[in-house]
Chains A and B, each alone.
Chain A
Amino acid sequence: MFTWEYPPRIVGGISRHCEGLARELVKKGHTVHIVTLEFPGAPLYEERNGVKIHRVPIELGHPNFIIWTLLFNHFMEKRIAEISKNEKFDVIHAHDWLVAPVSISSKHYLGVPLVSTIHSTEVGRAQGLHTQDSFLIDGFEWWLTYESKRVIATSYAMKREIEEHFHLPSEKIDVIPNGIDVSKYEVNVEHEEVKKRFRINPDEKIILFVGRLVPQKGVEYLIMAAPKIFEQHPDSRIIIVGNGWIKDNLMSLASSTKYSNKITFLGFLDDRDLTELTLCSDVLVVPSIYEPFGIVALEGMAAGVPVVASNVGGLAEIIEHDRTGFLAHKEDPDSIAFGINKILSDPEYAHKLAQNAKRKVYETYSWEAVARRTIEVYRKAIGE
């Protein structure tokens, strides 16, 4: 499996997806090698939960991101050439365009089928193709889907996007949702202690956002909703977890509201802190303008936290409005505020959403189910 991110290198959802899938594939008796990038403090090789993890050092860099990507793909090629001297592979699984060159060359060099999972597309992330880099990334994405024997999309929205944008035959694409480790939310947390750790008053209600601070996540619409939320619920606080290149702009936007002291930016949190904070939250908000899947919404649902999410992409497939969550209009602060206020004002409604959502996650999104369906795709690719 090739991926540019694998824990502790966590950028977006790919890292956790690869970890959950690999661990479950091993449990089912398969041998899994992960070839990924180095990360400060992590060993270049280790076995974790039976998964063989190879972290490739980047021996040469370049300021241009695309050239940097091509360089690290070359270093991954070096590593796979070395590993393949002693190992025989049945299938190669690529995750997104960043590892397209190494995945495609390995497919030809090793003579084994390539399966790729498309977690998102450049045209979706950037809401169009506006730069030379974007056009090239789009080209890489098309090339990866073209060279793959089977393509996995994480939602039907993503499948439609791939079919339409890359003109891929529908029968080549399988839809397998992301999975989630539900057991990590089966813990008791001391709310007061957790709130104290993050300097939140014990009586304050927590409105949580978790994700990368990039335009596609729509965090500005949550901040713009703040006045309408705090007018009705002055005893609440918006907590923003994550980092990203628009963080400074978002902090300026928050400062421009008269409620800046009630909007907290916590930066990146490790898994334990994030789980505990989620379990203490009163509502989780996913205001994305583009979201092929939306694993954060699943995490909130698994934690029993009512979710307010935009009615876009994979989120609209995961959440059933008014039953397992509240679907707000895209890019609409009023709609977001309405959903949050409804949940904070009506504990019975909030409880109903949380219970229904939790049940749905347990039934549908376990890693066991994701791995089982991925193995079926591998079998199709191999021709069994």
Chain B
Amino acid sequence: MRFIEKPSESDFVRDKFSRMPDDIYLLHIMHNIGAIDSERALPVEEIARWASMEKQRVEENLNKLVEKGYATLRVDSEVKRYFVTIDGIRKVLSIYS
């Protein structure tokens, strides 16, 4: 049996998520909850819930992601639904490999 040691408090300072800009953090959340194609696109409210972020801040960051080509949207019954593009998927996966 090998025990996993608990990191010290100061170690968390170097957590890559804490150094990540809001938009990339949001992209990572969208990827992990499965919004990776147009059929699985999600409205702002749902993304905000998963990310525990205010709706307005989510919207601002989603706009940045769309501008950079990492996310895109489709409009369904006047509701904007966002999903991660292929470039966005590669961006997210680079964090972990």
Interface residues of A (CB under 8 A from B): 5, 9-12, 14, 39-41, 58, 60-65, 68, 98, 129-136, 138-139, 142-143, 146, 212-214, 243-245, 247-248, 267-268
Contacts and interface: CB of A to CB of B under 8 A. Distances in A.
Contacts, number: 92
Contacts of A14: 97
Contact of A40 (B11, B28, B86): B86
A293 B35 CA distance: 33
A291 B2 CA distance: 27
Given A12-B97, A60-B34, A63-B29, 8 more contacts: A11-B90, A39-B86, A98-B96, A132-B12, A135-B5, A214-B94, A244-B94, A267-B87
Given A40-B89, A131-B7, A243 B94 contact: yes
Contacts of A138: 4
Contacts of B66: none
Given A11-B90, A14-B97, A40-B86, A130 B11 contact: yes
Nearest to A8: B86
A212 B94 contact: yes
Contacts of A245: 16, 20, 24, 91-92, 94-95
Interface residues of B, number: 33
B37 interface: yes
Contact of A63 (B7, B11, B32, B93): B32
Interface string B1-34: 0101111000110111000110010001100111
Contact of A61 (B5, B15, B33, B51): B33
A214 B41 CA distance: 27
Contacts of A132: 6-7, 12
Nearest to B3: A139
B21 A248 contact: yes
Given A40-B37, A267-B87, A63 B14 contact: no
A297 B50 CA distance: 40
B36 interface: yes
Contacts of B92: 245
A214 B95 contact: yes
Given A129-B7, A130-B11, A268-B87, A65 B32 contact: yes
B11 A244 contact: no
A308 to B, nearest CB: 23
Contact of B4 (A5, A39, A65, A135): A135
Nearest to B96: A65
Name, among B2, B4, B7, B94, the residue most crowded by chain A CB atoms within 10 Å (CB to CB): B94
B14 A212 contact: no
A278 B18 CA distance: 35
6 contacts: A9-B89, A11-B94, A129-B7, A139-B4, A243-B94, A245-B94
B2 A212 contact: no
Contacts of B4: 135-136, 138-139
Nearest to B70: A243
Contact of B33 (A39, A63, A244): A63
Given A60-B34, A212-B97, A245-B16, A268 B7 contact: no
Nearest to A69: B96
A136 to B, nearest CB: 6
A5 B6 contact: no
A214 B59 CA distance: 26
B96 to A, nearest CB: 6
B95 A142 contact: no
Nearest to B95: A245
A72 to B, nearest CB: 10
Given A60-B34, A214-B94, A142 B2 contact: yes
A62 B21 CA distance: 20
B32 A68 contact: yes
Nearest to B8: A130
Contacts of B34: 58, 60-61
A41 to B, nearest CB: 8
A132 B89 CA distance: 24
B46 to A, nearest CB: 12
Closest 10 CB pairs of A and B: A61-B34, A244-B94, A61-B33, A11-B93, A130-B14, A12-B97, A68-B32, A212-B94, A139-B4, A63-B29
